[in-house]
Structure 1
């Protein structure tokens, strides 16, 4: 069996951009390759054309082309032709693509297409109650019509996407993202910096960052030595038009609280684990995700997590056992849950241990890879 992945991002030194989608794809690709499944990755929107082979995985870097007219159409047709060439030449059995931007709209591929609901513009606009451009919905809706079946990282994301796009009589399978657990080991969970809160993610409104100033203020009223570190790229703000959400966010903090806040921007992926291990509590007050890779990464490293309680998060954490689930706008309860952990080391260690067990049971990439293999076998009719 030979599976191809079309993606705008992938963690590699020669790839222009990689975030949660890219990480989840790489985790799966490596696991599939370990199971002797042939895998090709086609990364579009790049600065160069290149074909790389690493650990038996073929990675195609596809340079971004510019068109004077109808670029949205000709860009997709170029990718279609590029893919079809290798579908025939390499005998690719199925192609997986993301839902974001409806990249497979207008494509006629010579292999079955599966779309994974990483999070479309339609999905996020719906979750955030924000206006969506008609063109963006059209592209994504058209792409869903081209797909034979769908994979969702959580049942919540699958059900919402299915309803938004009016998907009927097509399979939507829930398969979580997974982690290579041997790469997420914390041999000393008792060693952490007391009072250190850690947020990892893009500095953007939909991630709930504007809830942090009030939550942090309430925490410091009871625990004055608390600190907050934020890691992730800055973003423009859709609500105000500001080019920097971080600049807006700083103004929301009490000046005395802001002295205890450190924004590190983007840091190398391999360095993030050190910050997670150093943290006392990891906090993710997001309004819009399909799953949230960094949540399960923190759980795998035995960290107590205070997460959002919206839809998808209820499939990650058992509230009060492997983490806490609180609505981001309930600032008092969110702060109270953080404070419970800051003042009770035994609770932190117990919850962190339970979080690790939860990840081992539900998000182990070896188990996830097998679920994906069975799904693809059913789609292409191979055993």
Structure 2
């Protein structure tokens, strides 16, 4: 392998050097349990609260509204399951979408087994929720709306401010899975009427195994993990101090560099999209053409299996994915691509390449040339492509008669 290009930043990002440096002392010299009463350990409690305030400030929230978790999946589970339990007397109807991360979808399916009703909204061909569909789905017993801020596969950004306004108008709690958006897009929880928000450290150059759930003051949500009195008695367990410090350092880095960093990513993203669509025939872009995450690209290549494409890219030192990293072992086509209307045979030929600010134009050129070569080679071996080309040639011949 002569070259290595990591283009799967939606799955995870590398931990930034300054994040690791900030974490190291809390594994060694400052290893105390924050719940202990002596001064050596109590200092760690203050450090945790500093990170809480730092994160809250990026959202326009209060420090006491930030609860540390093990990551996005836990935060999503907590938001849906504990809210459903707390508001069950008011109603048992929840609204979400068909393109959510499985942490939300599987939590919703679990709640259905507990007697709750869930409406899964369709999306348009770009992956956006139709606001009129959301309005139509609301019932007197609706207690929660959960719509992701931006999709992890196709990158589409939802009209969160409008969704939040609808929820607020109807007195319904609004949760958003912002795992892909936080640190990459500016978010204001008050302006968007967000009551709960999930985020994860490893999507913004922080460590794995740490995240948070924002819970607006006044939201009646039950504890998710029982045991100790940590996280104001709402989430038991000894705090992951190194992880929390690393998350804080990653957040500080992400928001300080957001404008410049995402500007570079958008430039390279659009260059990649332009070249692929122009130079590789029978290819489509999945997701909204402009309202998408700065570093996200998702393509479908007709007559090509996504798994074969990934293997050949890997042989050229290029890391990509066919969808969510959490379902990469599945043989089923992406539920997101099916939801935007792609047939199975096209959804199977999908490729997600997610960039960071380090990717250069030269890197993109290498990726595109590799894709052209691989696509041509795989299509030469495809009976479906051969039949298609014969039909195309036949139609052309008929026209020339």
Q: TM-score under structure 1 normalisation?
A: 0.31
Q: Which structure has the bigger radius of gyration?
A: 2
Higher RCO (CA-CA < 8 Å; seq separation 6+): 2
Larger fraction in strand:
1
Q: TM-score of the superposition, structure 2-length normalised?
A: 0.30
